[in-house]
Amino acid sequence: MRQTMAGVTWGAVIGLALGTVAWAQEYVPKYPPYSGGKRVLVCARLDAPLTIDGDLADWPKADTVHMDVEQPHSPLHHGMIDGPEDLGLDIMTAWTGDMFYFAAQVQDAVYRPNGIDPDFAGYEVDGLALHFDLDHDEDDTGFFFEGDHAWWVTADTLDGPATWYWREGTAKADETKHHKVGPFAGHQMAVRLIDGGYIMEIGIPMDKRGLASNTERWVAPFAGRTVGFMVVAVDKDDARNFSLQESFRLAEQEGSFDWGELAWCGSDDRQSGWGNLIFVDSQK
């Protein structure tokens, strides 16, 4: 039986105890919307590193975004999702001087993390993708350049090379780097199954092993920085396995393939439509 999460706005606060979400009834956001009028997620600095184990009990109070197809900032932009009860998630971020942290509690009653290609299941199975425009240049070419990244993470409880895929921008659009994360030091991930879905935690190094790998501009101080940010969630309910291209084609034919995506914010690699991630010193 599917369990529906309570919908909340982008400014809701999450209280975490024993890995469950407790929503405040009334909340006035501490951080005002970005002056450009874009959707905002505040990323607060932590006093100590987090343990990446799929248990969110050690996360402090954090700014949180709820994503489902009824939210104006997370539209269904490809495929088929029946409604909020079919796919819904709550996402939050944090950082230290060494690591960027991301967590999601995902409502997804049909758990399918395995696809046709064991080495690359990106966007073909259940999972999440994080997109960064570190230079905040809002490039609309659809290419990734220096300071641009995308990490795809399969919602698999196994932490191995095939569960991560990293698309890293370069000076020239046709030289974008693509590689599996497994061999790269410092990256951390965990997926824990829960009733009606899963919890995903991710840790990405802030230094040259991760976010700063392709730009000289991503250096301290980080507090006060605003970067472009998009999260894409994929929901695969169909037991059949298809390539990514075939999934796209079938998803556009109503009823032919039970698969879909939603995002905060944006719908593709054009960065002007992404939301804003604001790094601050703390939530205190």
Residues 224-265 have pLDDT tens digits of 999 999 999 999 998 888 888 888 888 877 667 888 999 998
**Where is average pLDDT lowest: 35-44, 84-93, 104-113, 184-193?**
35-44
> Can you name the residues that pair with 198 across neighbouring β-strands?
106, 193
Amino acid 28: pLDDT: 42
Residue 264, domain member (yes or no): yes
**Where is average pLDDT lowest: 3-7, 83-87, 261-265?**
3-7
Domain carrying residue 81:
13-280
Residue 120, domain member (yes or no): yes
Residue 161, domain member (yes or no): yes
Q: Write down the pTM of the prediction.
A: 0.85
Backbone torsion region of residue 28, taken as left when φ is above 0, otherwise alpha when ψ lies between -120 and 50, otherwise beta: beta
Residue 1, domain member (yes or no): no
CATH of the domain at 253: 2.60.40.1190
> Can you name the residues that pair with 132 across neighbouring β-strands?
149, 229
Residue 226, domain member (yes or no): yes
Are 222 and 205 in contact, with CB atoms under 8 Å apart?
Answer: no
> Could you give the number of structural domains in the chain?
1
Residue 275, domain member (yes or no): yes
Which of 30, 41, 2 lies closest to 263 in space, CA to CA?
41
Asked whether residue 183 carries a pLDDT value surpassing 80, the answer given is no
Residue 8, domain member (yes or no): no
Q: Going by C-beta distance under 8 Å and a sequence separation of 6 or more, which residues neighbour residue 181?
A: 151, 161, 163, 164, 165, 166, 187
Residue 269, domain member (yes or no): yes
Amino acid 251: pLDDT: 80
CA angle 218, 265, 93 (to 5 degrees): 50
